[in-house]
Structure 1
Amino acid sequence: MADISDDESKPHLIFSYGTLKRGFHNHKLTKELIDQDDAVFIGPYVTLHTHPLVCGPHGLPYLINLPGLGHRIRGELYAVSTRGLARFDELECTSIGHYERLPVQLTVSADRDDVVPVEAEAYFAHRSFGEAMWERNGKEGLSEFTENEAKRYVKRQDRPHQGRNILEDVRHFVNGE
């Protein structure tokens, strides 16, 4: 990433907790951004505070903005260019209210609280359905999206109801349909 002094060149710190992580389905986008010098892997991190992490329709992971509930979430931290961030936003459908990018505090270790927190952003379930997603999952959450949860992931092209958008799938999921 170019070292220019304007805000466009300043990297964005993005916490990945789901399919964008190494070894998961959407990491191909992360890898493409790394190869294009639009992202850099910083390392494994964990949220400073607890948050719910659940799986929704098609096995998609959702971090929910209800701090104080759930677990400290393990994931990966990336420095991403503005161009790379736009690609992540597109994948996460932020423009239609599927996920929203919000601040999150991270540390390098769940075992140490004396480490200075890192300010980053993560993709949270949109506020319009986040709490309902938590309730639909019985207020039971994960501390990490693992290979076990990833087995439930359904690729976009393989999802039923191809005419529906993801928000309709979320609505059906939270309503138990």
Structure 2
Amino acid sequence: MIDIFVYGTLKRGFPFHPLGLDGASFLGAVETLEPYPLLIAGSFFGPMMLDRPGEGLRVRGELYRVEPGRLPKLDELEDVGSPGSFRTQILVAGEGSGQVEAIGYMKSQSWLDPVHTGYLSDYQDRRFIPPWER
């Protein structure tokens, strides 16, 4: 099994959750141990986190445990394979729980055009335009 940290459109109540994490084991609300830059960017108002630990704010999100066979669908939803879109290991912790190493989805600077917000600690924006509506 694999632990996944989600901070944006894969969270419960957002458009990609039913497509990628429906039925997955929810382990709880967590926060990154280090600050990261999380912004709303792109013509589709996507939440994007950059792999720059130590910059930005500690990011709140959700932790899930999934079977390895679910990764290709999650990678597809997160555009892994497109230039500047990748996954990496990230340390998170929840209230009353120890730290966990989980997969986190990241973007490079090239995805940030245009930028719509400053750094965020908790994605709650509802302007995201899913691919089927673009």
TM-score w.r.t. length of structure 1: 0.68
- The higher-RCO structure (CA 8 Å, 6+ apart) is 2
Distance in 2, Cα, partners of 1:61 & 1:52: 10
Distance in 2, Cα, partners of 1:82 & 1:75: 20
Distance in 2, Cα, partners of 1:99 & 1:12: 19
| Aligned mate of 1:55, from 40, 44, 49 | 40
Q: How many aligned residue pairs are there?
A: 133
Contact kept, 8 Å, 2:40 with 2:116, in 1: the verdict is no
Distance in 2, Cα, partners of 1:31 & 1:128: 27
Structure 1 residue 42 displacement after superposition: 0.7
Distance in 2, Cα, partners of 1:157 & 1:48: 34
Contact kept, 8 Å, 2:5 with 2:61, in 1: the verdict is yes
- Give the % identical residues: 33
Distance in 1, Cα, partners of 2:85 & 2:45: 15
Q: Say which structure is richer in helix.
A: 1
Letter in 1 for 2:128: Y
1:81 corresponds to which residue? 67
Which ranges of 4 or more aligned residues in structure 1 deviate by more than 4 Å?
A: none
Q: Say which structure is richer in strand.
A: 2
Secondary structure of the corresponding residue to residue 10 of structure 2: coil
1:158 corresponds to which residue? 133
Secondary structure of the corresponding residue to residue 58 of structure 2: coil
Relative distance call for 1:83 and 1:70 in structure 2 (3 A) is same
Structure 1 residue 27 displacement after superposition: 1.1
**What does residue range 39-50 of structure 1 map to in structure 2 within 5 Å?**
39-50=24-35
Contact kept, 8 Å, 1:19 with 1:26, in 2: the verdict is yes
Where does structure 2 lack aligned partners over 5 or more consecutive residues? none
The yes-or-no answer on 1:122 pairing with 2:104 is yes
RMSD, aligned CA: 2.2
Secondary structure of the corresponding residue to residue 97 of structure 1: coil
Letter in 1 for 2:27: I
Distance in 2, Cα, partners of 1:138 & 1:67: 21
Where does structure 1 lack aligned partners over 5 or more consecutive residues? 1-10, 160-177
1:107 corresponds to which residue? 93
Larger radius of gyration: 1
Secondary structure of the corresponding residue to residue 34 of structure 2: coil
Letter in 2 for 1:117: Q
